[in-house]
Structure 1
Amino acid sequence: MNINHLSQTFFAKTLAARRLRTALYLLLPALLLLLLVAALPLGQTILFSFSNATADDPQAAQWVAFDNYFSVFQGEFLGILTDTRWWLSVKNTIIFAFFSVSLELFFGMAIALSLNREFPYRGIVRALVLIPWAIPTIVSAQMWVWMLHDQYGIINWILTQLGLIDTGVAWLSQPSTALATIIVIDVWKSTPFMALMLLAALQTVPNELKEAARIDGATSWQTFRYIVLPIIFPAVAVAVVFRMLDALRVFDLIYIANPSDENVISMSVYARRLLFEYGKFGEGSAASVLLFLVVCGLAIIWIKVSGVIERQEH
C-alpha cells in the first residue's frame, strides 16, 4: 500500500514537472516578445528617470540620483506648473478610475443580466451594445467634444429644448463639470467591455442552481446575491482589474476632450507634457515610473483584497 502510494506520488510529481516544462516552452516566445516591447522600454525609462536627460541631447545625460523624483513631487520644471500639479494629477486619476470603474461595473452588470435572458433578437442587441466599445477612443472622444459644444452641440440643444438649461454649457471647459463629463464619456465607452466579460461569466452559472433556489422560494435578489455572485466573483474581480489598469493609465480621452485645462490633468498627461512639450526626459521618465508604481500597487492591493488568485486555486 505504501509502495503504491509512493509510486503514484512520484509519477504525479513527474507529470506535473513535465507539464510545467511544456508550459514554459510554449510561453517562451510570448515572454521574449514581451521583453522586447515592454521590459526594454521600461528599463530605459527607469534609467532616464535617474538622469538629467533632455530632448536636445538624451545621450549626454548625467546621473542625478533621485533629483527628478523630488522635482516631480514639488512640481518644479520651467516654472510653468505650480507645486500642486503632480498631486492634482494623482487625485484626478484616482477619482476618474474609481467612479468610472464603479459605474461601469454597475451598468455592465445590469446590461449583462438583461442580455443573459431569452428574448427575441438577442444576438442583434448584443452586437449593438458593443458599438461604443468598438469605436476608437480618439474618434469617440472627438465625437463627444462636438456633441457637448456649448454653441452648436446637440446635447446642449436637447437640454435647452427640454427647459433644463437656459443657455449652452461648456461641459468640457468648466472646471466644475469637466472631470465629471469625462467620466460619463468613459462610462459610455467602456461599459460594453465590462458587460461582455460579465455576460460570459453569467453564462457559466448552471441553470439547475437557479431553478433550485427558485423552487426553495428565493427571490431574484437572493438568488443573485447568494448563488450567482459567488460563482462569477473571480470573473468580476478580473474585469475590475482590467478596467482599473486601463482607467489609471487614461491619456487619450483626457488629451482629446480637454487638451489645455490644467485642472483636469491625469498622471499620463502630466508625464507626456514633461517628456514632449517641455523636453524634460528625466522628469518625464520619473513621472512615468511613478505612474507605473501607482498602477502596479493598486492592482496588487485589489488582487490581494479580492482574493481572486486564492479563489481560482481552490
Structure 2
Amino acid sequence: MTTTTTPAKKPRRSQRARAEARLGWMLAGPAFGLMLLVTLYPIGQALYDSLFSLRLTAPDERELIWFGNYGVVLGDPAFWESMGVTLLITVITVVLELILGFALALVMHRAVKKLRGLARTAILVPYGIVTVVAAFAWFYAFDINSGGYVNNWLSWIPGFDPDLNWFAHPETSLIVIILSEVWKTTPFISLLLLSGLAQVPGDLEEAAKVDGATGAEIMRRVILPNMKAAIMVAVLFRTLEAFRIFDNIYIMTAGANGTEALSLLAYNTSIGRLEIGLGSAISVLLFLSVLIIAAIFIKGFKVDLAGGKNS
C-alpha cells in the first residue's frame, strides 16, 4: 500500500501583514516611482542613442544603424583595456577595503563605551568628504608639479626617488588611485560589517571561550559564519560602486597612462570626441556589466538584500 503526500501549502499572510505591506508601498511608493523615473529616462535615452550613428558636430546626420555601435565598441582594443583597468581597480580596492573595514568594524564594536562614539566619528570622517574634494587632496599630495609632500615623507626609504612623478607611470598612477579609493570608501564597508558584528550572538562567543577555543577559532567558526550575509552585501554594494569609478581617475590622470576606466571611456567618447552614439553604447555596456555582477552575487551567492540572510 502506497501513500501519497501532498505538498504543504504556503501559509497565507494575515490581514495585518497585508495591511502593513500596503502601508509600506503607500509610504515608499512615491519616492520609489520618482527614483525609477529619474533612473529609467537616462538609461532609455542612452539605449536609444546607441542605436544611431550620431555626432554632436553633425546632429542632422543621424542614421539608424541598430547594433553597429556595439560591434565597433566590442571590436576596439581600447574598450577591453578599459575593462581590464576597471576590473583591476575593482578587485584590489574591494579586497583591501574588506580587510581594513573588518578591522575598523572590530575596533568600533569592541571599543570602550566612552570612546565608542569618538572612534566611530573619527573612522567615518573620510566617507563624509565629497569625492571630488578627496580626489583633489590626494592629487596635490602626490603631484610633484604642485608641491606634493608625499615624496618628502617617503624620502627616508632606501632606494626611493624623491623626484618620482607618480602620475607619469601607469603602475604608480594606479597605486595612488587605488589608495584614494580605499581611504575614501573603507568606512562604508566598516559600517556594513559593524551591523553584521552586532548580529553575532554573544552567548556563542562566550560558549566558545568556555570550550577553550582560541581567538582565531572563534573568529573562523563563530563570528565569520554569522556575518556571511553582511560580508556578501558589503562586497556586492562596494563592487558595484567601484566598477563605476570616475571622479578619482578623471581628476588625477584624466585616463592617461593606461588608467582609463569604462566610465571615463564613455565620457571621453561622448564629450571629448562628441561621438554620442558610441559613447551611449559604452554606457549601456557598462550598465549591463553592473547588472551581470549584481546577478552573479545575488543568485550565485544567494544574497538576500531584503532580509540580510544567506540561503
Q: Does 1:175 align with 2:173?
A: no
Match status 1:128 vs 2:129: no
Give the residue type in structure 2 aligned to 1:171.
W
**What is the TM-score when the length of structure 1 is the normalising length?**
0.88
Kindly report which structure 2 residues correspond to 1:2-151, keeping only aligned pairs within 5 A, or say none: 12=13, 16-56=17-57, 58=59, 61-75=62-76, 84-119=77-112, 121-150=115-144
1:227 aligns with 2:228: no
| Alpha-carbon spacing, 1:157–1:45, altered in 2? closer, same or farther (3 Å) | same
The alignment of Structure 1 onto Structure 2 pairs a total of residues equal to: 299
Task: Find the aligned partners of 2:80 and 2:195 in 1 and give their Cα distance.
Answer: 38
Whether the 8 Å contact between 1:268 and 1:291 is mirrored in structure 2 is: yes
Q: Mean Cα displacement is larger for which, 121-130 or 209-218?
A: 121-130
1:37/1:163 Cα in 2 relative to 1: closer, same or farther (>3 Å)?
same
What residue in structure 1 maps to residue 192 of structure 2? 197
Structure 1: segments with no counterpart, 5+ residues? 1-7, 76-83
Structure 1 residue 18: deviation in Å? 4.3
CA deviation vs aligned residue, 1:171-200 (integer Å, no higher than 9, x gap):
122123211221111111111111111112
Equivalent pair of 2:82/2:261 in contact (CA under 8 Å) = yes
Aligned-pair CA distance for 1:248: 0.3
By how many angstroms is 1:162 displaced?
Answer: 4.0
Q: Which residue of 2 aligns with 1:3?
A: none
Secondary structure of the residue that 1:167 maps to in structure 2? coil
Identical residues among aligned pairs (%): 35
2:268 aligned with 1:273:
yes
User: Are the aligned partners of 2:200 and 2:226 in contact in 1 as well (CA < 8 Å)?
Assistant: yes
| 1:223-262 equivalent positions in 2, closer than 5 A | 223-262=218-257
Gaps of 5+ in 2: 1-9
Give the residue type in structure 2 aligned to 1:312.
K
- Give the TM-score normalised by structure 2: 0.88
The question of whether the paired residues in 2 share the 8 Å contact of 1:172 and 1:258 is answered with: yes
User: 2:42 is aligned with what amino acid?
Assistant: P
1:21 & 1:96 partners in 2: Cα distance?
42
Match of 2:6 in 1: none
Cα shift readout 1:242-275 (whole Å, capped 9, x = no counterpart): 1111100000111011115051100000000111
Offset from partner CA, 1:57-84 (integer Å, 9 cap, x none) = 6576331111111111233xxxxxxxx2
Distance in 2, matches of 1:21 and 1:285, equals: 38
Residue 178 of structure 2 aligns to a residue whose secondary structure is: helix
- SS at 2:250's partner residue? helix
| Structure 2 SS opposite 1:160 | coil
C-alpha change, 1:156 and 1:72, in structure 2 (3 Å) is same
**8 Å contact kept, 1:148–1:156:** yes
2:309 is the alignment partner of 1:308: no
